[in-house]
Structure 1
Amino acid sequence: MAETKREIERKYEADGGTVLPDLTRAAGVAAVTDEGVTELDAVYYDTADLRLAAAALTLRRRTGGADAGWHLKFPVATGIRDEIRAPLSETLPGSLAGLVRSRVRDEPVRPVVRLRSRRDVRLLIAKDGTPLAELSVDTVHAERLDGPGEAAWTEIEVELADDADPAVLDAVGRRLEKAGIRPSTAPSKLARALAETGAPAPTAPPTPGTPGTAGHAVLAYLRAQRDALVALDPAVRRGLPDAVHQMRIASRRLRGALRTYGKVLDRTVTDPVGAELRWLAGELGAARDEEVLTARLAARLDELPDTLLLGPARARLRLRGAARAEDAGRAVLAALDSARHLALLDALDALLADPPLRQAAARPADEVLARAARKDLDRLAGRIARALALDPGHARDLALHDARKAAKRARYAGEAARPVLGKPAERLATRMKSVQTLLGDHQDGVVARTALREIAAEADAAGESAFTWGLLYGHEEAAAAERERELPGLWEWAAAPEIRASLTR
């Protein structure tokens, strides 16, 4: 079973002659205790082309110390990493293998560096006896295992104790720097070992195309979304908040860009990739939609007075939501573990490495991206006009859902064009997000009414009152009607003539 620990630490340069200052003079530190010396032996794993190192991830198998086992570290921010731990075993545990799958794909991970460290540990303690931080002086010997090369150095690590105030690190850092001990420039021991043993620094290939052209701008946007898709894979597996939603958005942005910029990239090549992105978004959508639905209905129940809550309404909703969320979560993991998902990631890589550029790709980016944004805005205008021309009911609901999809595409077109067009694209994205939000709330209400009919039938079959569910159905009908009344005014503001005019290039 893997466990997660948040590491917040600072690293400093040292050598054999470095003398630590009196750290009890650092604010908050009342005592420093000597915890002795530990011998650590860690083997770091990566692909032959160092894909994990390129993403600032480290995967190691370490013996010695209290936390012997497999460790996988994800960067969170400067000086902050999440360490996922698994018990010591001869082979990489499956719990960690899944977390690196989007990076390594089908490439095997193999030993690349061995670090043997002599760790001299001191514990920094507050006046009340609470641990504040652990300071270690590490004498490190690095050995390349995938080729020749050795290195040795000494460094100081100061790691914040659980629940301690990060200000302690600042106070200790000031004492160390006042004593002439400087912060390390290496982000990790592995990065330093690779650099000092002659490994070339992993770098991303340049974006194809000439800067300033439409092809270069579109490919830069696609690469950013591909990177997000890859990085969010382990976050979804770890169950991090909003990870499923953000991964779904990345897949939709990719698909939307491939469709919006059909004049830049040949759609006979990109449409099959778009179809796979649609599949992935659908797999992710079930989990996200269930989460949104349960939260929406729970909020509706909370708005009702207790006198209108007949039967075990909250319990029924909670159990229904938990069961469906569990099923949807399993489906998401199955999708991420599938060969189809890996094939999609490989197809995106291939598309970016050898893009099917069309003639418009060589034209100025501002001209091409502005025209594409106007086209998406016009498409949305047509769909909203068609929806509003229909009478309220099922047909209008479907038309408004189509308009919502077009609003997302127009919003994403604005976001993609922002680096090139600046404020006009930003205004477009902001206003289209407002339209998308209103239409999204309307569609959520449509889905909620379908679910409420099902829940009411289930409650009735179980001998429970269906009154509360019928009441919520009425509330959802009223909310949907209100969104429909608001749409013409919101659309008039969002699609004001000056918005389209500002996109003229």
Structure 2
Amino acid sequence: MGAALSGYPEDMTDTTREVERTYVFPDSPGGATGGPPALPDLTGVPGVAEARAEGTVGLDAVYHDTADLRLAAGHVTLRRREGGHDAGWHLKFPVAPGVRDELHAPLSAELPDELARLVRSRTRGADLAPVVRLVTSRTVTRLLGKGGTPLVELAVDDVRAERLGGRLTVTSWMEAEAELAPGADPDILRRVDKRLRGAGLIPARSPSKLARALAETGPPVPPREDGPPPRTAGDHLLAHLREQAEALQTLDPAVRRGQPDSVHQLRVAARRLRSVLRVYGSVLDRGATRPVEAELRRLGAALGADRDTEVLTGHLRERIDALPAPLLLGPVEARLRLWSVARGAHARDLTLTTLDDRRHTALLDALAALLADPPLRGAAAKPPRKALPKALAKEYRGLARRVDRALALPPGEERDLALHSARKAAKRVRYAAQAAVPGIGRPAARFAKRVKKVQRLLGEHQDAVVARAAVRELAVQAHAAGEPSFTWGLLHADEDARARACERELPRVWREVAKRGAPAG
């Protein structure tokens, strides 16, 4: 199995990457009678040295979901399975077509807490209950390479599905699965797939057994509320909001699992939502959206501590590595490591506490309610090229005032704060412009690209200001421990110079934006 979940007991839950292909047999819509269909000989597939029959095993799996199938709607599956070598609780998240991350916890009567947390963004407090039972007779053949190296596990499944929680509905079918062994070359699965198709097996239409069982026993998974192609300004903004709200739900378990870049992506989704709700008040009533915006701000602030520590530590480590050895006086790397671990542990705890808080569930509920019954204003019915540029122009004027004020101040703490305020405004304008691209087109995309240059420069300035403060803190700690603080002084001077260089560059970069302004309505 894979590595244990970050943030949870290491002896409770493991995760593996599942890469598989599923097929149906021609002229075999129902369960098998008289044994499973024969698979073609696969020992001729390049790389396959042996096809080893491993017999038949019985599997009994009960799938859990909310009454309105919120997990299935997000392509997430949660089951309790008995039988086979991996009996227990299984939670699967989609990664790509045919690829899922499967998390496993030992068999128990109740759903383990660590898995319950991972589906909280989907269930949003709704009760989980058994919805489908799959009883499967599985006949397994393992494809091996030279030396007995596992390559692919082939399974022929005789499936009986029962819909639970009301009137009993039953369906059955036969299917085959080809699953890539851990560590095996993905190309072997492609070659096996070609041989199976050539033998007449048909790629399954359903993405999973659960999806097929739900479709055939009804009621099915509620369709996504995509609707017709967006036409009005309101249509375009709601489509963007739905996309970002879905990102919040998808990235929540990724953050809990410690997936790379997940904290940053979740923070970006929250900021994109906030930007649209704040900037486009002529389309979406801010009286209704302001409480949601406030909770999104709270979420972003909590995630910021985790993300900022990660970025800052990486930057300082690079700066230390770049210094000549004679300038590294004292246990510089050890001091940075101690500082980073202490800050990182606190930030990680804050992130998980925030995601576990009832206010986070309430935020997801509020977003779902807002999208189900959006508080549209008059401008929502207008064409996007007429309504959206006006809102962008207004927000751009606010950004211009912040930049002008910052540039008028002398260097120092007050200017640093003003530039930070301008940075946040630039990011808000950029995200709002990107949300308008499907409705406005290239003018919005070009405007967003110009504003991004300002945002990046202001971001580098803020990073230098934060790094400068962190280096001073490290110098104080080093001095208190009797360590040399010379190296930290050098780094402090470097960060101060970086901040001032950004300030000198800002007028030129800003002129490029101011020359063209915001898209015209």
Query: Do Structure 1 and Structure 2 share a fold, with TM-score over 0.5?
Result: yes
Deviations 1:1-30, CA, capped at 9 Å, x for gaps: 110010000001024473211101112111
The alignment yields a C-alpha RMSD, in angstroms, of 1.4
CA distance in 2, matches of 1:483, 1:39: 66
| Cα distance in 1, alignment partners of residues 44 and 437 from structure 2 | 50
Q: Say yes or no: does 1:186 pair with 2:206.
A: yes
Cα distance in structure 1, aligned partners of 2:349 and 2:157: 42
SS in 2 for 1:441: helix
CA contact (8 A) 2:306 2:347 kept: yes
TM superposition shift of 1:378:
2.1
Q: Which residue of 1 aligns with 2:7?
A: none
Aligned counterparts of 1:466 and 1:207: Cα–Cα separation in 2: 62
**Match status 1:504 vs 2:520:** yes
Give deviations 1:104-127, integer Å, cap 9, x for gaps: 011110001111111111110112
Match 1:12 to one of 16, 23, 46: 23
Identity %: 59
Written as runs of structure 1 = structure 2, the 5 A alignment for 1:269-288 is 269-288=288-307
Aligned to 2:139: 120
| Cα distance in 2 for residues equivalent to 1:176 and 1:204 | 33
Bigger CA drift: 380-389 or 459-468?
380-389
1:197-208 pair list within 5 angstroms? 197-206=217-226
SS of residue in 2 equivalent to 1:356:
coil
Question: 1:70: Cα distance to partner?
Answer: 0.1
Asked if the contact 1:372/1:413 (under 8 Å) is kept, the reply is no
- 1:31 and 2:42 correspond: no
TM-score normalized with structure 1 length: 0.97
Partners of 1:349 and 1:196 lie apart in 2 by 28
Contact 1:121 1:134 in 2 (8 A): yes
Structure 1 residues 203-222: aligned runs within 5 Å: 203-206=223-226, 211-222=230-241
Q: In the TM superposition, what is the alpha-carbon distance from 1:494 to its structure 2 partner? A: 3.4
In structure 1, how many angstroms separate the alpha carbons of the residues matched to 2:455 and 2:46?
Answer: 51
Q: What does residue range 123-162 of structure 1 map to in structure 2 within 5 Å?
A: 123-147=142-166, 148-162=168-182
CA distance in 2, matches of 1:197, 1:449: 62
Task: For 2:261 and 2:110, locate their aligned partners in 1 and report how far apart those are by CA, in whole Å.
Answer: 32
Residue 23 of structure 1 aligns to a residue whose secondary structure is coil
How far apart are 1:398 and its partner, in Å? 0.8
Amino acid in the other structure paired with 1:3: D
Does the CA-based 8 Å contact 1:120-1:137 persist in structure 2? Answer: yes
Residue 206 (structure 1) shift: 4.9
Partner deviation per Cα, 1:157-211 (whole Å, 9 max, x = no partner):
0000111111111111111111111111110000011111132232123569x94
> Does residue 1:196 correspond to 2:207, yes or no?
no
SS of the equivalent of 2:126 reads coil
Contact map agreement 2:63 2:130 (CA 8 A) in 1: yes
5 Å matches for 1:193-272? Answer: 193-206=213-226, 211-272=230-291
Distance 2:478 2:103 in 1: 42
In structure 2, the residue corresponding to 1:9 is in which secondary structure? strand
Write out per-residue CA displacement over residues 390-417 of structure 1, whole angstroms, 9 at most, x where no aligned residue.
1111111111101101110110111100
1:207–1:173 Cα change, 3 Å: closer
What does 1:295-374 correspond to in 2, within 5 Å? 295-374=314-393
Match of 1:482 among 493, 498, 501: 501
**Partner of residue 510 from structure 2, selected from 477, 491, 499:** 491
Tell me if structure 2 keeps the 8 A contact 1:207–1:216. no
Uncovered stretches (5+) of structure 2, i.e. residues with no partner = 1-11
Normalized against structure 2, the TM-score is what?
0.94
- Distance in 2 of aligned mates of 1:205 and 1:125: 45
- SS at 1:128's partner residue? helix
The answer on 1:174 being equivalent to 2:185 is no
Q: Distance in 2 between matches of 1:70 and 1:43?
A: 10
